[in-house]
Amino acid sequence: MKKLTLRILHMVLAAAVLLGCTFSAPVPALAAGLDQMEVHFMDVGQGDATLVTCGGHAMLIDAGDDSKGTAIQNYLQKQKITKLDYLVLTHPDADHIGGAPVIITKFDIGKVFVSNFEKDNKTYQKLIQSLDDKRMKPLTPAVNSKYTLGTADITILAPGKTYDNPNDASIALLLKNGTRSFLFTGDAGEDAETDILETGIDISADVYKVGHHGSKYSTSKDFFEAVDPFYAVISCGEGNSYGHPHAETLNTLRTSGVMVYRTDEAGTIIASTDGKSISFNVPASESWKAGEPTGGSTTASTKSAAGTKAASSQTKKTAPAAASQKETTANAGQSTSPASSDQSAETTPKPQKETAPAVEEKPQESAPAATSELTYVLNVKTKKFHRPTCHSLPTTNRQDSSESRDSIISQGYEPCKKCNP
């Protein structure tokens, strides 16, 4: 009866919107003893930056590239942020740490968490210098260590060991306020996801910040099933050259009935929770359009037309029935960021699983071209070999080879499972 009542209510609300009616819904009362928590998935183009606020406390997870530092600073100041309890830099890729020196310089920060992977480049050195200037020592939190942010709990999930690439060395964490939870994994790939599963920590979450901007090299089957999210947020740049999000990842989310929110389509996305329900400031995506790894940006008009075509080819979803434990409420009066339109959209519980048209698979994301003499890239430590275009190429313990596949295997090397050389 409850599911039927909610289904009818959502149909009535949808009809009211079509007729041009306006209405507002009361903001739900906070669960006893819990602070209101907001998670701002900021639109920083092809990168990551997420602000979390709870009970007057704040945490920033990643800081976009070096062109986004001032924009993130301005956004935080508009949210009345003067101090960050935590600055979490998941891994040292430029699109995650580039803007951090500005944030470190402009704000008081309690703790700075960094990956155990270091890079020898100007972006990373600039980060270290900014920390030195503030006499701050970053730390890599241990797996299963606990922290608090207001009434929210933070559990560190990774990294639990060292890796030969920065993505797998990403800090992963589970954020929970009341009965509602959010999962962040940086750019962790399949190997790191497997290691997280092996910790035995419960990683089920209501909201999954999709790993590696929606890359097919993250969100592996077993990992995704363990998370079992109702909602997924993808942070990626419009028309990015990597083809994010990939069709494989979108198909996984689509066929599992997950509602998806994308910064390349909606701008900054804000999820709010009182510890019992979750609401969003924008409607979920309906385009299911995969990225195109063209090496260049797609024009806005072309993307808009393609998105409209993709949406019109699908059957429009009716409001789903309520889940027994996890449901959301309408979000009234929710503040929006400068990067998103000032609108309030009702969000609904996780849809029932449905069979949906597959998202068209695009070519693999672009990678640096290999020289004509280079056949394979060897990792002399792990004894694996890769294609030169593999996105898990080692940055250390690397040896380039022009030998044949059989010859390399005869030396004790195994083919990479991702690029399957």
Q: Which two tokens stand for residue 98?
A: 């580039």
Q: What is the pLDDT of residue 258?
A: 97
The fold of 2-312 is Metallo-beta-lactamase; Chain A (3.60.15)
Of the listed ranges 204-218, 305-319, 401-415, the one predicted with least confidence = 305-319
Mean pLDDT, to the nearest integer, of 395-403?
82
Q: Which residue has the higher pLDDT, 25 or 146?
A: 146
Find all residues with CB under 8 Å of 88, minimum gap 6, and list them. 59, 60, 61, 62, 113, 171, 173
Whether pLDDT at 150 is above 50: yes
233-285 pLDDT tens trace: 999 999 999 999 999 999 999 999 999 999 999 999 999 999 999 999 999 99
Comparison of pLDDT for 26 and 119, the residue scoring more: 119
Collapsing DSSP to helix, strand or coil, 46 comes out as coil
Q: What is the DSSP string of 56-69?
A: TEEEEE----TTSH
Q: What is the Cα–Cα distance from 273 to 134, expressed in whole angstroms?
A: 34
Task: Tell whether the model's pLDDT for residue 226 goes beyond 60.
Answer: yes
The pTM for the full model equals 0.69
pLDDT digits (tens, 9 = 90+) for 2-13: 333 333 444 444
**pLDDT score at 382:** 78
* 366, burial (CB in 10 Å: exposed 0-12, middle 13-18, buried 19+): middle
- 180 close to 146: Cβ distance less than 8 angstroms: no
Look at residue 32 in the predicted model and tell me its pLDDT. Answer: 66
What CA–CA distance (Å, rounded) separates 266 from 268? 6
Using the predicted structure, report yes or no on whether residue 158 has a pLDDT greater than 50: yes
Q: Which pLDDT score is estimated for 406?
A: 82
Residues paired with 261 in a beta bridge: 233
Q: How confident is the model at residue 31 (pLDDT cuts 50, 70, 90)?
A: low
pLDDT of 373 reads: 61
Kindly report the number of other CB atoms within 10 A of residue 393's CB atom: 18
Which pLDDT tens digit goes with each residue over 290-301?
998 865 443 333
Instruction: Give the pLDDT mean for 333-341.
Output: 38
Q: What is the pLDDT of residue 293?
A: 81
Q: What is the mean pLDDT of the chain?
A: 80
**pLDDT score at 418:** 65
106: three-class secondary structure by DSSP = helix
pLDDT of residue 242: 95
Yes or no: say if 231 and 208 are a contact pair by the CB < 8 Å rule.
yes
Structural domain spans, the chain: 2-312, 376-415
